[in-house]
């Protein structure tokens, strides 16, 4: 057994289970307050979902995925395996309980938007507290973001999204097709409307952002145990130790569960089950598309994004419910290339590189951030779904407040672990 507990001799030692962007940022902020931190992950830090996202850091994204009337789409989701949102037939029965909660959550979309707005308001500022010291400032660009539409009906279909962003204080500009093409000349002539969100930031290399942040954590004494957490031991005062798949036992003072789409397996072991699903997403990187775009562009009808990144133009998105273990359906990534051929005036899709990742998704589109209800020295930081890059740094700040026993800067009760079991 390895004892990482402070036993009153030095700063408390925190185990951070899962080294994606959420765990890495939690480690970085905890370290700044004097905590000793150890990341525990069988993979290299920042190489899972946090590696391949579309890079958008979007304070204006406050609209939950489930809105009233969403249930009408269910037949389409089941019938088109390459559609923007698909449920694999052989996974449909397993996904059903989550999907029912997802559709039921739609009625509370206003409260969810208010909670997401309070969480997301300072997301850029939270990153800026870390990126300077990590040598990562050049990876963040503030050129806004766009949602673009090929039909007036598609534009009108997102009126609620624009309304909620405005209501929560964000600038939302409505553009004509010509105004859009002045901003992004590579787009084809079929786009008739667009929405511009000027306060959006984006990251031009999410994998490198993770690497630079984690290098900063290690340089300041943080450690990495390369193993998978398989269980916990508890005592009178909470969790005392965790067990790993190499047969080791490690004792710590505090524990943060930030294992992305796998987190519910750990919370269940701690007596706190949570309805988490993987919304699998895909990307394709085009190393030499033949043009550059200036900001993330979200395609309203086609439901995917493109962002110009250091390795090339990244086409990213789509949602697939197939569980954590199923092989990727690379046809879904190929479909992104079909879209690219249709939306840009000309595009070179040669040498495209595919990737699949697991979004950690909750039925109400809100992450779980806060203290365990059962173990005083455990905090949860998972379930950021489509917005985990956006929420990574700010979550790290709130988790640090929770562990330090301070009042967090916002009301964290909407993000509680027990909100589906009360």
Q: How many residues bind ligand FAD (CB under 6 A)?
A: 41
Q: Cβ of 42: how many Cβ atoms within 10 Å?
A: 13
Q: Which range, of 43-51, 81-89, 339-347, 408-416, touches ligand FAD by CB under 6 A?
A: 43-51
Question: Taking a C-beta distance cutoff of 8 angstroms, is the pair 288, 341 a contact?
Answer: no
Token pair recorded at residue 358: 């697991």
Instruction: Look up tokens 């505090």; give the residue.
Output: 254
Instruction: Look up tokens 């043009």; give the residue.
Output: 291
Token pair recorded at residue 261: 């789409």
Task: Considering the complex, state which of residue 28 and residue 54 has its C-beta at the smaller distance from ligand FAD.
Answer: 54
Helix, strand, or coil here: 312? strand
Question: Taking a C-beta distance cutoff of 8 angstroms, is the pair 346, 311 a contact?
Answer: no
Question: Can you tell me which of 228, 249, 373, 419 binds ligand FAD, judged by CB under 6 A?
Answer: 228
Residue 396 binds ligand FAD (CB under 6 A): no
Compute the least distance from the CB of residue 269 to ligand FAD, in Å.
9
Residue 386 binds ligand FAD (CB under 6 A): yes
Residue 317 binds ligand FAD (CB under 6 A): yes
Q: Which range, of 51-59, 133-141, 187-195, 328-336, touches ligand FAD by CB under 6 A?
A: 51-59
Residue 64 binds ligand FAD (CB under 6 A): no
For residues 403 and 37, give the distance between their C-alpha atoms in angstroms, rounded to a whole number.
Answer: 12
For residues 295 and 145, give the distance between their C-alpha atoms in angstroms, rounded to a whole number.
Answer: 5
Compute the least distance from the CB of residue 189 to ligand FAD, in Å.
26
CA nearest neighbour of 14 among 22, 28, 1: 28
Residue 18 binds ligand FAD (CB under 6 A): yes
Compute the least distance from the CB of residue 46 to ligand FAD, in Å.
7
Q: Which range, of 3-11, 35-43, 86-94, 332-340, touches ligand FAD by CB under 6 A?
A: 35-43
For residues 48 and 26, give the distance between their C-alpha atoms in angstroms, rounded to a whole number.
Answer: 17
DSSP 243-289: EETTS-EEE-SEEEE--GGGHHHHHHHTT-----EEEEEEEEEES--
Compute the least distance from the CB of residue 99 to ligand FAD, in Å.
18
Task: Considering the complex, state which of residue 45 and residue 71 has its C-beta at the smaller distance from ligand FAD.
Answer: 45
Residue 49 binds ligand FAD (CB under 6 A): yes
Residue 59 binds ligand FAD (CB under 6 A): no
> Which residues contact ligand FAD by CB under 6 A?
17-23, 40-43, 48-50, 53-56, 228-229, 258-262, 266, 281, 283, 316-317, 357, 359-360, 382, 384-390
């Amino acid at each position: 057994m390895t004892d990482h507990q402070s036993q009153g001799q030095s700063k408390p030692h925190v185990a951070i289970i899962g080294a994606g962007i959420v765990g890495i940022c939690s480690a970085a902020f905890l370290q700044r307050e004097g905590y000793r931190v150890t990341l525990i992950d069988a993979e290299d830090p920042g190489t899972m979902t946090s590696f391949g996202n579309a890079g958008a850091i979007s304070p204006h994204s406050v609209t939950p995925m489930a809105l009233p009337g969403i249930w009408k789409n269910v037949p389409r989701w089941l019938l088109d395996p390459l559609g923007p949102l698909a449920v694999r037939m052989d996974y449909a029965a397993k996904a059903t309980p989550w999907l029912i909660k997802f559709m039921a959550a739609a009625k509370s979309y206003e409260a969810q938007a208010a909670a997401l707005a309070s969480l997301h308001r300072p997301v850029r500022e939270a990153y800026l507290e870390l990126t300077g010291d990590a040598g990562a400032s050049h990876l963040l660009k503030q050129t806004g973001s766009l949602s673009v539409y090929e039909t007036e009906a598609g534009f009108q279909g997102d009126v609620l999204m624009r309304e909620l962003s405005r209501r929560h204080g964000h600038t939302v500009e409505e553009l004509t097709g010509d105004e859009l093409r002045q901003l992004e000349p590579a787009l084809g002539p079929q786009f008739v409307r667009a929405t511009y969100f000027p306060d959006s930031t984006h990251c031009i290399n999410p994998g490198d952002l993770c690497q630079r942040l984690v290098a900063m954590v290690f340089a300041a004494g943080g450690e990495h145990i390369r193993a998978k957490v398989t269980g916990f031991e508890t005592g009178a005062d909470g969790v005392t130790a965790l067990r790993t798949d190499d047969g080791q036992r490690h004792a710590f003072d505090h524990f943060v569960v930030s294992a992305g789409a796998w987190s519910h397996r750990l919370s269940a072991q701690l007596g706190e089950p949570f309805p988490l699903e993987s919304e699998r997403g895909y990307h394709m990187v085009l190393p030499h598309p033949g043009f550059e775009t200036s900001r993330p562009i979200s395609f309203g009808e086609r439901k995917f994004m493109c962002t110009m990144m250091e390795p090339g133009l990244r086409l990213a998105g789509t949602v697939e419910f197939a569980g954590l273990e199923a092989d990727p359906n690379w046809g879904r990534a190929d479909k992104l290339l079909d879209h690219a051929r249709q939306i840009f005036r000309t595009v070179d899709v040669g040498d495209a590189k595919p990737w699949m990742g697991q979004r950690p998704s909750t039925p109400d589109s809100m992450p779980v951030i806060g203290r365990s209800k059962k173990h005083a020295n455990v905090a949860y930081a998972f379930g950021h779904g489509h917005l985990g890059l956006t929420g990574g740094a700010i979550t790290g700040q709130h988790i640090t407040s929770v562990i330090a026993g301070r009042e967090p800067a916002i009301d964290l009760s909407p993000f509680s672990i027990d909100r589906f079991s009360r």
